Chain A
Amino acid sequence: MKRLSGNREMLLVVAIVALVALIALRFPPFVTPGNLVNVYNDSSILIILALGQMAVILTRCIDLSMAAALALCGMAAAMVNAAMPGLPIPLLILIAMALGTVLGAFNGLLVWKLDIPPIVVTLGTLTIYRGLIFLLSGGAWINAHQMSPAFKALPRLNLLGFPVLSWLSLAMIAIMLLVMRRTPLGRAFFAVGGNPHAAVYTGIDVGRTRFLAYCLSGMLAGLSGYLWVSRYAVAYVDIAAGFELDIIAACVIGGVSIAGGIGSVAGTVLGALFLGVIKNALPVIDISPFAQMAISGTVIIVAVAVNARSEKRKGRVILKKAEATHG
């Protein structure tokens, strides 16, 4: 697999290292281990979400509803916690993930069974899920004092120098690496996006594979919902509004082709990290945090231009002598 997708990831690693080095020139403390752990920790939720989005985009679909699903699951988790502070947190996480899976499954069913274009489906569910948060909460905020201490503490809990939030994202990366590379489902994601027509002939159910990709992205959105709400210790209707575009941006920067079939876990993680580094670096090198949006916009455009160049098919070389120089 290294031979299949090595270059893109290397390019990103070089870009990130160069970026960090540049930042370190202006602000050396940025590269202390403690701060780097912070930067990673800060990117963790984006990494988890981007992995789910990657699976969906690989199958030639898109999930615009991820941030709304995150907010809905986060609100649900916070409300359950406020109502039943005694409920064990792992159970609460499972509830959030289950709810996320249901939301993802709803997207997936519409795409699978009704053949509605994915962008339309998730555009619709994006507004529906946001609206549901309002119906659920009545527009009220769940604040820090309504959440149990355990609820808020878990992501911050330090294990072997890393917060649990970071450990969770590392675990998700490991699981997704295994799923994408070693399971038939993971390979089916690639096959369905690369050539849906041929996938049918190899016995892969295209619709069902897309459905499962949406379930996966929903489940990861559910997990992220709990993490987001507990980390920032607040839940309201508009949390993570607009974040769906950051998630897609992370994938695009990571080399996931919007046309499906091309992408990797490593690239996606690096794409999310790249955005995380920028977001954390701006304040320390005296660039207004307001510039972050414009910078990530520019990065997305550059990334997609670079990807397009590397994806471009080699033209057929017919002339013999040209073959020697081009082939």
Chain B
Amino acid sequence: MRTKPAIALEGISKSFPGVRALSKVSLALHPGSVTALVGENGAGKSTLVKILTGIYQPDEGVIRVDGAPTRFPSASSAARAGVTAIHQETVLFDELSVAENIFLGHAPRIGPGLIDWRKMNADARALLARVGADLDPSIRLRDLGIASKHLVAIARALSIDARVVIMDEPTAALSHKEIHELYELVDRLKADGKAILFISHKFDEIFRIADRYTVFRDGSMVGEGLIAETTQDDLVRLMVGRDIGQVFPKQAVAIGEPVLTVSGYRHPTEFEDINFELRRGEILGFYGLVGAGRSEFMQSLIGITKPSAGAVRLDGEVRVIRSPADAIAAGIVYVPEERGRQGAIIGLPIFQNVTLPSLSRTSRAGFLRLAEEFALARDYTARLDLRAASFDQDVGTLSGGNQQKVVIAKWLATKPKVIILDEPTKGIDIGSKAAVHAFMSELAASGLSVIMVSSEIPEIMGMADRVIVMREGRIAARFERDALSAEGLVRAAAGIREAA
């Protein structure tokens, strides 16, 4: 491992108005090696990626490419130096062809700077073959699935002859099988001598594919070394600066009578034959692979999408829910997975976010009562230990974890009977995660019924009283808490038969 680093950052600092995002961090990426970058949200990982790719300029410090000090004044200069990034949501162009997505910005030319489409398509085909993708380079990207788009992104990385490949949570949106294909690809890139920076929240994959690790906390580098010489617990301790056992604060709750009964729910293309009961004080887990139809089903429960058949009973009464407004009135609320798009209303202050679904209670004859709004916001956010400067602060200025607290407070303020939490801890830091888990337990203990959609096995196993596993739009298995096993969940979700 004593190769010369392909790229090295030395003493890099970057500040934004009011925030020091990075403080004298150093990082070296070696050819043929995978370095895992770990840290909580807000630790400075994305700022570092932006500096490496030329989007941001560091305030101080040196970037060395093959030992020579270099500056990346623009994204294209970083690309020319062989640095490329593959992002969380594959940032490509839906309306352009696969070949163009691979070659945009450095397409083969002929004559006076004209694009050579024939060569571009041929080269694209060759690159796609190298990443093991059998795709027609001339089809539009929007016609591809998410996994194929990832392969296109990687082909793009190869096309600029990248020497440094940054993968920013590349498996976040992938299914089990696709993740394994990605691992193989990373191994191949490594064998090709690329220097890889791998950013992930999932420890199992870090230990599966990384050679080295670097840990960031609050904008500083707090540890680095060889993966082989560390443990998951050590990394977690470095990340949070204290010990956090994977302890789930589950309270023992007496499960009561059925509150919500769903029967015969189906949709023409997304799910069918969904039947289950949810009881008072229960946390019902919904596990499955990404794309198993869990979110789609939950959104149909609150009237976003219309089921083609099926009935919902709440406390024994049949309820017809045509819109989220009906659902809220009936006492069913849904905390969506995509916090930024479906949950928080960036641009509005915290208190207005909290009171939005409850405006009928905080207003008289349609006229607002600000004092009551502030009181409601204060009441519900206090239970979640919100950290904010004031209640009229734009919710967009909060960290992801605190935004999630505002979103959950918003739903609790409607005084629901059933709360559906869709991936409630996705992408939030460990501290906020624990707060959300603790709060979920309290809710169940106080008599609420909770549905928790989660793709994280520890979370499902730690929090749920019962688990329903969905696969390809149907219920694949049901587990009681005492029958839960990680292996059983994975098998049911992936459709693997028990060996007879």
Contacts and interface: CB of A to CB of B under 8 A. Distances in A.
A–B: direct contact at CB < 8 Å: yes
Interface in A192-207: 194-195, 197-205
A145 interface: no
Contact of A313 (B97, B142, B272): B142
A159 interface: no
A309 interface: no
A113 interface: no
Contact of A194 (B93, B107, B293): B93
Given A200-B75, A318-B473, A187 B92 contact: no
B100 interface: yes
A130 to B, nearest CB: 35
A191 interface: yes
A191 B93 contact: yes
Given A198-B91, A203-B76, A313-B142, A4 B97 contact: yes
A178 B106 CA distance: 18
Contacts of B117: 181-182
Interface in B272-293: 272, 291-293
A112 B270 CA distance: 43
Interface stretch (A75-83, A92-100, A267-275, A319-327): A319-327
Given A316-B270, A318-B291, A203 B472 contact: no
B296 A3 contact: no
Interface residues of A, number: 32
B247 to A, nearest CB: 35
A138 interface: no
Interface string A106-140: 00000000000000000000000000000000000
Nearest to B54: A203
B346 to A, nearest CB: 16
B170 to A, nearest CB: 15
A236 interface: no
B85 interface: yes
Contacts of B270: 315-319, 322
Contacts of A200: 55, 75
Contacts of A198: 91-93
A184 interface: yes
A204 B285 CA distance: 45
Contacts of B53: 201
B96 A194 contact: yes
A261 interface: yes
Contacts of B75: 200-203
A318 B472 contact: yes
Nearest to A3: B138
A190 B92 contact: no
Contacts of A165: none
A184 B115 contact: yes
A183 interface: yes
A200 B92 CA distance: 11
Interface in A147-202: 178, 181-184, 187, 190-191, 194-195, 197-202
B293 A187 contact: no
Interface string A283-318: 000000000000000000000000000000101111
Nearest to A319: B473
Given A187-B107, A201-B53, A203-B105, A318 B95 contact: no
A190 B269 contact: no
A182 B115 contact: yes
B190 interface: no
A262 interface: yes
A273 to B, nearest CB: 24
Nearest to A317: B269
A191 B269 contact: no
A318 B296 contact: yes
B407 interface: no
A262 B85 contact: no
Contacts of A194: 93-96
List of 7 A-B pairs having minimum Cβ-Cβ separation, nearest first: A203-B76, A198-B91, A202-B105, A318-B473, A322-B269, A182-B114, A319-B473
Given A195-B94, A199-B93, 16 more contacts: A182-B114, A182-B117, A184-B115, A187-B107, A187-B115, A201-B53, A201-B85, A204-B104, A313-B142, A316-B270, A316-B291, A318-B270, A318-B292, A318-B473, A319-B272, A319-B473
Interface of B: 53, 55, 74-76, 79, 85, 87, 91-97, 100, 104-107, 113-115, 117, 138-140, 142, 268-272, 291-293, 296, 472-474
5 contacts: A187-B104, A205-B74, A316-B291, A316-B296, A326-B269
